[in-house]
Amino acid sequence: MKWTLQFVALSLAFALGTWFGGWWMVPVVGALYGAWGMRQRVTIVTALLASVAAWGALLAFAAMAGPMARLLAVLGGLLHMPGAALIVLTLAYGGLLAVTSAVVARGLRRLATPG
């Protein structure tokens, strides 16, 4: 139950941070979470899953609000890949940002914390 609440809260933090501050808020939120949860074993996995869920929800919202399919077709044609691959790459990018910042912040906090 505790992990589920952390996951939901972190997903909301990633989604709201991205919505109001842009993509660069993902590493900020990931670093804050990594430093906060440095002693938990699932910190990195939670950061990854929460960021992917948040960006997936934002992409789903954007798809309902506008002509996402047409945009994916055009961009996919320019990049010579299917439009669905762009969604996968976008989610992977968000996950990578969150995980790397959480790992770095967790490591720095462990170095700074005696004992």
Residue-wise pLDDT tens digits, 43-73: 899 999 999 999 999 988 888 777 887 888 8
pTM of the model: 0.83
Residue 85 in 3-state DSSP? helix
Output the CA angle 96-98-100, nearest 5 degrees: 65
pLDDT of residue 115: 63
Which of 66-70, 85-89, 91-95, 100-104 bottoms out in mean pLDDT, i.e. has the lowest? 66-70
- One-letter amino acid of 7: F
